[in-house]
């Protein structure tokens, strides 16, 4: 118990149990239990309430003695992400806007399909990379998310009433995950670990514009996490105009990294009418995909992104996909989801918070590359 005479600023800061790996939390909490005259298993009980069977507060951990819950409250935190907006599309897609402690907003999208529920999560508040067609890039970069804010998006789904059981996770929300590897690396552990959220590694996809050191770091993890690379243009000239990061990581080096990545890679390719959807681009893309055995996902452009781009027509997308198939490339056309709820990444946050001046990736000290 704290001494009434102790000034608030003298008290040690509370530790965030959601910002450490479950194994670290377990060691800490078992020790804490013993220190306070409880059996070590009390610590393990708390850990189960972090991710597996999340509790919204220490007070709601009703399988623990009240006095122990009070002690936990004094020393630790398990912060929630505040739900600011929830929108449901007629096709079942749901979009969540969460408000973080410092007032930043991030987006999460839940996409049901048969027995699966894929959660598209954010790894940064905003994004520094300024891809020409992206609403998030247009809003600029604010900061990297911490581990508990990234994995917390999945945790919050379990705390909804009724809960939403997430089966798959894709890092395709706001931000470039491999520019925040310091937090994404342990987040992958929390998502995958049985003591965490227990989602199979093959059901977790990290999507990147091609941040090479991050691809290497992801490849070094022993688990079978999946890698998706946003190609969007099959030659340097066009890619340069759409994705400024191509200056730092040109297409050839990204393809090289995909080749040495031990597991199968997916190429993401957003279909921009009259820009990247012609026959020549199909041939170039097919060559790149064959070079590294990649699967190609064609993504219809979601209206409401940035810039004056026009979506390729459905007929053009089908034609393009046939051209790829004819050149021995496996391809799928992604369904557009959530068309009625501004589900293009970043749109909802822009509506809420307005745009900022974009910051270049190289100029922002808060952007970490693995
Ligand atoms: S597409 Fe991804 S990497 Fe590019 S600006 Fe948008 S969020 Fe950033």
Residue 268 near residue 229 (C-beta atoms within 8 A): yes
Output the DSSP codes for 118-129: EEE--SEEE-SS
Q: Which domains does the chain have, with CATH numbers?
A: 15-77 (1.10.150.530), 82-363 (3.20.20.70)
| φ, ψ dihedrals at 163, nearest 5° | -65, 155
Residue 370: what pLDDT?
39
pLDDT per residue of the chain (370 residues) written in tens, 0 to 9 = 444 455 656 667 999 999 999 999 999 999 999 999 999 999 999 999 999 999 999 999 999 999 999 999 999 999 999 999 999 999 999 999 999 999 999 999 999 999 999 999 999 999 999 999 888 888 889 999 999 999 999 999 999 999 999 999 999 999 999 999 999 999 999 999 999 999 999 999 999 999 999 999 999 999 999 999 999 999 999 999 999 999 999 999 999 999 999 899 999 999 999 999 999 999 999 999 999 999 999 999 887 677 789 999 999 999 999 999 999 999 999 887 776 665 555 555 655 555 444 444 444 434 444 3
CA-to-CA dists, residue 278 to 133, 205, 271, 282, angstroms: 18, 28, 10, 6
Q: Which atom of ligand 1 is nearest to the CA of 208?
A: 3
Q: Tell me if the pTM is above 0.85.
A: yes
Which structure tokens are listed for 330?
């496996």
- Give the span between the Cα atoms of 334 and 314, in whole angstroms: 11
Please list every protein residue whose CB sits less than 6 Å from any atom of ligand 1: 127, 129-131, 134, 136-137, 174-176, 209
Mutation test of ligand 1: which of 177, 178, 209 has the most ligand atoms closer than 8 Å to its C-beta? 209
Residue 368: what pLDDT?
47
- Give the span between the Cα atoms of 242 and 309, in whole angstroms: 11
Catalytic (active-site) positions: 107, 345
Residue 343 near residue 92 (C-beta atoms within 8 A): no
Residue 7: what pLDDT?
61
Residue 351: what pLDDT?
56
| φ, ψ dihedrals at 87, nearest 5° | -125, 140
């Amino acid at each position: 118990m704290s001494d009434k005479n102790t000034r608030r600023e003298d008290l040690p800061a509370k530790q965030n149990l959601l910002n450490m790996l479950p194994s670290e939390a377990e060691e800490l909490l078992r020790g804490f239990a013993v220190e306070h005259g409880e059996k070590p298993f009390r610590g393990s009980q708390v850990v189960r309430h972090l991710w597996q069977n999340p509790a919204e507060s220490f007070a709601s951990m009703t399988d623990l003695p009240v006095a122990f819950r009070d002690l936990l409250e004094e020393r630790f935190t398990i912060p929630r992400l505040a739900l600011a907006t929830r929108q449901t599309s007629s096709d079942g897609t749901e979009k969540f806007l969460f408000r973080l402690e410092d007032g930043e907003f991030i987006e999460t999208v839940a996409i049901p399909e048969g027995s699966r529920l894929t959660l598209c999560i954010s790894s940064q508040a905003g994004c520094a990379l300024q891809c020409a067609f992206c609403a998030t890039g247009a809003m600029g970069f604010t900061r990297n998310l911490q581990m508990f804010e990234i994995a917390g998006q999945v945790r919050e789904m379990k705390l909804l009433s009724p809960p939403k059981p997430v089966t798959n996770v894709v890092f395709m929300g706001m931000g470039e995950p491999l520019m925040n590897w310091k937090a994404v690396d342990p987040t992958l552990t929390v998502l995958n670990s049985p003591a965490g959220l227990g989602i199979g590694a093959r059901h977790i996809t990290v999507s990147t514009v091609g941040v090479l050191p991050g691809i290497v770091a992801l490849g070094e993890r022993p688990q079978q996490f999946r890698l998706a690379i946003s190609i969007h243009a099959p030659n340097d000239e066009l890619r340069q105009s759409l994705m400024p990061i191509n200056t730092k990581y040109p297409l050839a080096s990204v393809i090289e990294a995909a080749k040495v990545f031990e597991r199968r890679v997916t190429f993401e390719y957003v279909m921009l009418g009259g820009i990247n959807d012609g026959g020549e681009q199909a041939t170039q893309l097919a060559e790149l995909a064959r070079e590294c055995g990649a699967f190609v996902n064609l993504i219809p452009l979601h209206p409401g992104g940035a810039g004056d781009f026009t979506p390729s027509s459905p007929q053009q997308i089908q034609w393009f996909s046939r051209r790829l198939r004819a050149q021995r490339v496996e391809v799928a056309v992604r369904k557009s989801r959530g068309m009625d709820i501004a589900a293009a990444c970043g749109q909802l946050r822009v509506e809420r918070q307005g745009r900022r001046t974009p910051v270049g990736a190289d100029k922002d000290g808060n952007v970490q590359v693995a």
